[in-house]
């Protein structure tokens, strides 16, 4: 189907608003518009609308920037505090894990002496140590990094944060 | 100030890369600079999108807080303005959903949105208040009635001078859709302006 020359020109006018036309397209547009009053009018009215769109002037409320800066600063402080808490929890967790590991190793090494002192077999004492010292210590160490998240969740649930 | 800079690695960083790095580092000075530079454009974008002025300041605040919170996700590959407007757009859509249950989902390319009057407030529209030329005054009422997606496309193209590709990133729609929205929006406004000319 052959596209009407006026239709084609208007498509080119519309296209020129979004992308740069090729040299050939520019030439074809210029040649036709010069000799066609309706297409001239179409181009002029399009340019008028585009120019009119530039005739709106909006203003920023005078205190908006200051209020945005303030809110951003507060949020930055809060995020910094959260990061510090997270880092400190991670360090505590690592320290606790290390101490648990070292303490447990020492006690484990001394289990023969301790078993004799407590009148138990070394195996019994080791089982006891495993259940009441080593396992709980390791579990607590693993929970440490999740404490800030749990606290935040609790605060959110209670509506402490928006 | 942010045009280009030499980073500690010795490589020349573009403005968007500098912004991305500053956002990752939560650089307060950079954030303040961005607010000063983009505030008016952000306000204008939200007014064009919502067709009203009353909720714009709250959304502007929220947008900047999101920028701080999600700064790490900006990679500096697209213009900062497109990323900023995309955040503002999502917040505006959430606001409209909360208020009216309006569907303006950016993934919905069927061009169906809520009637524009659904979104406007009583009294003179922000466009009437902001019109500074006779033709702008003539267009103001039509702009207020135009659907947000068309107003948005026209603003981004002709006031913000974004390319079709950049608009596509901002609104999350393919380039042909962007192009079609611009042409439809212009056609509606052209008809209005021609009508005004004949009437006068």
Q: Is the pLDDT of residue B106 over 80?
A: no
DSSP structure class, residue A132: I
Main-chain phi, psi angles of A73, to 5 degrees = -60, -45
What's the confidence (pLDDT) of residue B29? 94
Rounded to an integer, the average pLDDT of A47-72 is 91
Longest CA–CA span in chain A (Å) reads 114
Q: For chain A, how many structural domains are there in total?
A: 2
Token readout for B22 is: 């500053």
Instruction: Say which residue, A156 or A2, is predicted with more confidence.
Output: A156
Whole-angstrom distance, CA of residue B152 vs CA of residue A153: 38
Confidence of residue B199 (pLDDT cuts 50, 70, 90): low
* A and B: number of Cβ contacts within 8 A: 114
Comparing alpha-carbon positions, the chain A residue that sits nearest to B161 is A18
Closest to A71 (Cβ–Cβ): which among B47, B65, B138? B65
Distance from CA of B131 to the nearest CA of A (A): 4
- Determine the straight-line distance between the first and last CA of chain B, rounded to whole angstroms: 48
- Same-domain status, A38 and A91: no
- Find out whether B70 and A100 touch, Cβ atoms under 8 Å: no
Do A58 and B31 lie within an 8 Å CB cutoff? no
Q: Which residues of A touch B135 (CB under 8 A)?
A: 48-49, 51-52, 55
Q: Which residues contact B6 (CB under 8 A, 6 or more apart)?
A: B12, B13
- The reply to whether A15 falls in a domain is yes
Do B39 and A18 lie within an 8 Å CB cutoff? no
Name all domains of chain B by residue range, CATH numbers in brackets: 10-199 (1.10.1740.10)
What's the confidence (pLDDT) of residue B92? 93
- The reply to whether A58 falls in a domain is no
Best of B26, B126, B128, B168 to substitute, by most chain A Cβ atoms within 10 angstroms, is B26
Determine contact: B59 vs chain A, CB below 8 A: no
Residue B46: which of B93, B83, B97 has the closest Cα? B93
Q: Is the pLDDT of residue A93 over 80?
A: no
Instruction: Say which residue, A148 or A97, is predicted with more confidence.
Output: A97
Confidence of residue B101 (pLDDT cuts 50, 70, 90): low
Q: What is the mean pLDDT of chain B?
A: 83
Count each helix (H run) and each strand (E run) in chain A, helices first: 8, 0
Q: Is the pLDDT of residue A53 over 60?
A: yes
State which H helix or E strand residue B12 sits in. Answer: strand B12-13
Q: Which residues contact B46 (CB under 8 A, 6 or more apart)?
A: B56, B59, B60, B88, B92
Least confident stretch, A58-72, A147-161, B103-117, B126-140: B103-117
Instruction: Say which residue, A85 or A160, is predicted with more confidence.
Output: A85
Whole-angstrom distance, CA of residue A75 vs CA of residue A81: 10
Whole-angstrom distance, CA of residue B127 vs CA of residue B124: 8
Least confident stretch, A30-39, A78-87, A102-111, B128-137: A102-111
- Same-domain status, A36 and A93: no
What's the confidence (pLDDT) of residue B121? 56
Complete DSSP assignment for B138-177 = HHHHHHHHS-HHHHHHHIIIIIS---HHHHHHHHT--HHH
Least confident stretch, B147-156, B179-188, B190-199: B190-199
Q: Which residues of A touch B36 (CB under 8 A)?
A: 65
- The reply to whether A61 falls in a domain is no
- The reply to whether A64 falls in a domain is no
pTM of the model: 0.74
Do A58 and B130 lie within an 8 Å CB cutoff? yes
Q: Which residues of B touch A49 (CB under 8 A)?
A: 135, 139, 186, 189-190, 193
What's the confidence (pLDDT) of residue B3? 47
Closest to A48 (Cβ–Cβ): which among B43, B135, B155? B135
Least confident stretch, A99-108, B73-82, B109-118: B109-118
**By residue range, what is the domain housing residue A13?**
5-47
Confidence of residue A156 (pLDDT cuts 50, 70, 90): low
Q: Which residues of A touch B131 (CB under 8 A)?
A: 55-56
Comparing alpha-carbon positions, the chain B residue that sits nearest to A61 is B57
Whole-angstrom distance, CA of residue A147 vs CA of residue A137: 16
- The reply to whether A127 falls in a domain is yes
Rounded to an integer, the average pLDDT of B138-152 is 90
- Same-domain status, A40 and A89: no
Q: Is the pLDDT of residue A28 over 70?
A: yes
Q: What is the mean pLDDT of chain A?
A: 83
Comparing alpha-carbon positions, the chain A residue that sits nearest to B33 is A69
- Same-domain status, A150 and A92: yes
Confidence of residue B108 (pLDDT cuts 50, 70, 90): very low
Distance from CA of B106 to the nearest CA of A (A): 20
Least confident stretch, A15-19, A100-104, B95-99: A100-104
Confidence of residue A3 (pLDDT cuts 50, 70, 90): low
- The reply to whether A63 falls in a domain is no
- The reply to whether A79 falls in a domain is no
Q: Which residues contact A35 (CB under 8 A, 6 or more apart)?
A: none
**Per residue in B13-42, pLDDT tens?**
788 999 999 999 999 999 999 999 999 999
Do B130 and A52 lie within an 8 Å CB cutoff? no
Q: Is the pLDDT of residue B6 over 70?
A: no
- Same-domain status, A100 and A149: yes
């Amino acid at each position: 189907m052959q596209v009407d020359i006026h239709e084609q020109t208007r498509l080119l006018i519309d296209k020129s608003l979004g992308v740069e036309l090729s040299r050939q397209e520019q030439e074809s547009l210029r040649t036709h518009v010069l000799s066609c009053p309706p297409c001239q009018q179409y181009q002029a009215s399009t340019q008028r609308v585009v120019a009119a769109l530039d005739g709106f002037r909006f203003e920023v409320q005078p205190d908006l920037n200051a209020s945005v800066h303030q809110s951003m600063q507060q949020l930055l402080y809060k995020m910094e505090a959260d990061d510090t808490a997270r880092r400190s929890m991670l360090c505590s967790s690592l320290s606790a894990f290390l101490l648990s590991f070292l303490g447990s190793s020492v006690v484990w090494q001394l289990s023969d002496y301790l078993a004799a002192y407590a009148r138990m077999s070394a195996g019994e004492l080791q089982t006891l140590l495993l259940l009441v010292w080593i396992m709980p210590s390791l579990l607590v160490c693993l929970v440490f990094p999740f404490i800030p998240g749990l606290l935040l969740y609790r605060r959110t649930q209670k509506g402490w944060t928006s | 100030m942010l045009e280009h800079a030499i980073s500690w690695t010795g490589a020349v960083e573009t403005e968007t890369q500098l912004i991305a790095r500053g956002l990752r580092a939560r650089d307060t000075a950079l954030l303040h600079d961005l607010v000063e530079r983009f505030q008016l454009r952000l306000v204008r974008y939200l007014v064009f999108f919502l067709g009203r002025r009353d909720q714009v300041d709250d959304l502007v605040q929220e947008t900047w807080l999101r920028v701080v919170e999600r700064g790490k996700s900006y990679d500096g590959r697209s213009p900062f303005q497109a990323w900023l407007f995309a955040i503002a757009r999502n917040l505006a859509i959430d606001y409209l959903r909360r208020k009216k249950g309006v569907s303006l989902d950016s993934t919905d390319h069927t061009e169906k949105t809520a009637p524009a009057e659904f979104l406007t407030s009583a009294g003179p529209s922000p466009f009437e208040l902001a019109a500074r030329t006779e033709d702008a005054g003539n267009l103001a009422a039509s702009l207020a009635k135009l659907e947000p997606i068309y107003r948005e496309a026209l603003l981004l193209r002709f006031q913000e001078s974004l390319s079709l590709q950049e608009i596509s990133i901002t609104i999350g729609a393919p380039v042909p859709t962007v192009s079609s929205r611009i042409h439809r929006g212009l056609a509606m406004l052209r008809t209005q302006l021609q009508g005004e000319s004949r009437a006068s």
